[in-house]
Every structure is written in structure tokens, then in C-alpha cells.
Amino acid sequence: MVLALLAVIPLLVLVYLLFYGGFSGPVDWLMRTQRHLRRDRKVVALTFDDGPDPVRTPALLDVLAEANAPATFFLLGDAVEMHPDVVTRMAAEGHELGNHTYCHRYLPLARSRSVERELARTDAAITQATGQVPMVARPPWGGRSPWTVRAFARLAKRLVLWDVNSYDWKGKPADEVVARVLERTRPGSIILMHEAREGGEVTIEAVRRLIPALRARGYQLVTVSGALSPSRA
């Protein structure tokens, strides 16, 4: 029994590493997921996962509006149902809305029909709040397997990951988050952030400083589907 358990643990670790979205892996090469935008222009996309939050998301929207900067939000269906007015505002202010599943499950080992149901339920909530159907989607933790990717494709979603992880959830000060992002950003980068969580104020402060710093380096801020890599179209 103990031996069987010992054999299973490395296997689980391997499966986790293979499917975790933080690394480019065989699933991306085979299934053509989007980890970045086109690299031939100095464009960059800010993306925010796990919202909406009734307090922090409006504060973030204020910062984006003040800077006249578009962003892409990967939203959870259950949170959209609770706070549809925040999502209506996002759409009205020109941000792109993406699907981040209904309740943030780890998907690689889920049945593809249940993945489709989660995506469809989230689409329905976003459409009810905004009249729009998301074109892009991001699995929780970036976890994807070939069958997850196929479920996304059946619902006509572009599966979007990231190439710059801000690690804004780690509790570091805003300065460090900004420095980390600036150091790693290059043309076409998709930056992963989270404002709709405890400590999200740090993310909002980081965004306030990041937007002028990116623009000073010649970057144009875009939504994800505004500049997807053409070779992956």
C-alpha cells in the first residue's frame, strides 16, 4: 500500500508539471495555445484573473480609465452572477472579457463535457451582463491537457495563457511586482495579474505605476484578441 502511494506521488507531480500553465509544454506545441501576442509589434496585454470583485475591481477600473488603458479580464461565472454590474461597466469601458470557467476548478483531469458546461455557464452569465460572448478563455492556473483544449475549441474559445507572471499574489510590495514585470516584458507579452483577491490593492497600485512605465518604453497596451499572433490564427 505504502509502496503504491510512493509510486503515485511522482506521477502526480509529473502530471501537474506537464499541465501547469506556467511553463510552455508539449500541450502548447501540439494544441497551439496562445502564450503571447504577435512579437513583431511593441504591444502588450494586461490580463486580470478571478474577478469580478465588488470593491477591488471598480478601483482597478478607475485606474485603467484614468490612464485610458484597455485590459482583458478572465472572469469566473459564479462571481459574474453575483456582481453583474461590475462586468457591465468593464464592457462599457472597452475592456475585453474572457472566460475563466465557472468556479475555478483544475481542469486537466476533468471530463471534457463538464469543462464545456463550465465554460457555457460562464458565457451565459457574461452575455447576460453585457450582451457579448467572450472569444478568449483561460483555464484556472493555466491547467490544460489536450482534452481541455479540445473542449475550449468546441466552444470556439481561443485558449490564452501568459508569458509574464507578475506573481502579484505573493504578497510582495508593488515596486517589486512592477520591477519583475518590466524586466520580463518583451514585444507581444501577455502579463498575468489578479486584483480580485485579498491583497489585490497591491496589484492596483502596481498597475498604476506599470502603465506609464510600459508606455515610456514604447509599448502600446492592447486587449488580447486585438493582437493575437497571426501565425496561430
Residue among 89 and 194 whose Cβ is closer to Zn ion = 194
CA atoms of 199 and 167, how far apart (whole Å): 12
Shortest Cβ distance from residue 156 to Zn ion (Å)? 21
Does 142 engage in binding with Zn ion (CB under 5 A)?
no
Set of cell numbers at residue 103? 468556479
Site string for Zn ion, 19-58 (x = CB under 5 A): ------------------------------xx--------
The residue sitting closest to Zn ion, measured at its beta carbon, is 49
Residue among 49 and 123 whose Cβ is closer to Zn ion = 49
Which position has the grid cell 478571478? Answer: 50
194 is catalytic: yes
Query: Assign residue 213 a region: left if phi > 0, alpha if psi is -120 to 50, beta otherwise?
Result: alpha
Half-sphere exposure of residue 61: CA atoms within 13 angstroms, side-chain side: 22
For residues 203 and 178, is the Cβ–Cβ distance under 8 A? no
Residue among 50 and 205 whose Cβ is closer to Zn ion = 50
Instruction: Report the Cα 163 to chain-centroid distance in Å.
Output: 11
Shortest Cβ distance from residue 3 to Zn ion (Å)? 36
For residues 34 and 154, is the Cβ–Cβ distance under 8 A? no
Does 205 engage in binding with Zn ion (CB under 5 A)?
no
Percent helix, strand and coil across the chain, each rounded to 5? 50, 15, 35
Does 140 engage in binding with Zn ion (CB under 5 A)?
yes
36 is catalytic: no
Size of the site for Zn ion (CB under 5 A): 3
Does 96 engage in binding with Zn ion (CB under 5 A)?
no
Residue among 108 and 140 whose Cβ is closer to Zn ion = 140
Question: What is the set of active-site residues?
Answer: 49, 194
Given the rule CB under 5 A, which residues bind Zn ion? Answer: 49-50, 140
